[in-house]
Amino acid sequence: MTKPSNLLIANWKMSLSVKQTLALTKALLKGVSNLGKFLDFSLVLCPTFPALSAVGTLLKKPANIYLGAQDVFWKGHGPYTGEVSAEILSELGVKYVIVGHSERRQYLKETDDMIRHKVMAALQYNLTPVLCLGETYAQRQAGQRDAVLHQQLSRDLAGFSLTGQQNLVIAYEPVWAIGSGKAVSQSDMLQAAEVIEQGLRQMWPSETVSRQVRIIYGGSVDDTNIKTCLNQGRLNGALVGGASLQAAGFIKLLRQVA
Ligand code: PGA
């Protein structure tokens, strides 16, 4: 993995039409090109599935901007109505895929076992999974953050390790901070990143963890707090939802990173 430049992932969820997605992509590309030549971050844009191909075409040139998907199915091909495989995503030029987002755990009833299979399917096609972990508010109040993180890690990554070429991103996303307008404090993020690091080291060789796994934060990141997630020990980036939906605001955020 080319480290440790920061990784910014824009998760556009189901918030934009295809037309709006393309307009935003074009505006962002223009804005990023104005930021200068040597950007010290990688940017991943995760549009809605129907816009992947068109956004991918727009992203052909810039070297540090990648195409990401918001989900993947765990099977290779076959009679799975409505699903999209890692192979198809890879064919479209996708490099990253979000897996296990709390909205999918909540609304689509995704289980840790499904998520584990999705992570493995993505890795098989050299997509980098962005595995989302995090506690709910009730779990937080009950002092269960660390236990939840350990449990999700051990279930979502059970029974395999990364091969030499494979990379993984773990996004610590406290469920209650998503879309709330209130990110957690920097010390909170760093503690959680440390817990994730420890959990990973219990499962995988230290070398694999330090070289091939990146840890980022997600949950109400915007231009006022983005710096708290950058180059902070084990924390090197952010998964940004709402604040990535407007070109001007997102460029403002990226300017803090560049
Ligand atoms: P938010 O979303 O930035 O709007 O809180 C983050 C996410 O859900 O990944």
Range of the domain at 251: 6-257
Would you say residue 52 lies in a domain? yes
Is residue 8 within 8 Å of 45, Cβ to Cβ?
no
Distance from Cα 239 to the centre of ligand 1, integer Å: 7
pTM: 0.96
Tokens 């549009």 correspond to what residue?
A: 47
Q: What long-range pairs does 53-56 form, CB within 8 A, spacing at least 24? A: 53/92, 54/18, 54/21, 54/22, 55/21, 55/22, 55/25, 56/92, 56/93, 56/94
Give pLDDT tens digits for 28-72: 999 988 887 667 789 999 999 999 999 999 998 767 899 999 999
Whether 101 is catalytic: yes
How many CB atoms lie under 10 A from the CB of residue 47? 27
Strand partners, 214: 169
The CATH number of residue 93's host domain is 3.20.20.70
Instruction: Please return the burial class of 176, using the count of CB atoms within 10 Å of its CB with bins 0-12, 13-18 and 19+.
Output: buried
Would you say residue 121 lies in a domain? yes
In the chain, the number of structural domains is: 1
State the average pLDDT over residues 222-239: 93
Would you say residue 11 lies in a domain? yes
Give pLDDT tens digits for 207-216: 999 999 999 9
Nearest atom (ligand 1) to Cα of 103? 8
Would you say residue 130 lies in a domain? yes
Strand partners, 97: 69, 129
20 vs 33: which has the higher pLDDT: 20
Contacts of 212 (CB under 8 A, 6+ apart): 1, 162, 166, 167, 168
State the average pLDDT over residues 221-226: 96
Tokens 């070289």 correspond to what residue?
A: 211
Would you say residue 1 lies in a domain? no
Distance from Cα 171 to the centre of ligand 1, integer Å: 11
* Whole-angstrom distance, CA of residue 216 vs CA of residue 14: 22
Would you say residue 173 lies in a domain? yes
Is the C-beta atom of 218 inside 6 A of ligand 1?
Answer: yes
Whether 83 is catalytic: no
Distance from Cα 77 to the centre of ligand 1, integer Å: 30
pLDDT class of 1 with cuts at 50, 70, 90: very low
Give pLDDT tens digits for 89-127: 999 999 999 999 999 999 999 999 999 999 999 999 999
Would you say residue 141 lies in a domain? yes
* Whole-angstrom distance, CA of residue 38 vs CA of residue 192: 31
What is the model's pLDDT at position 62? 67
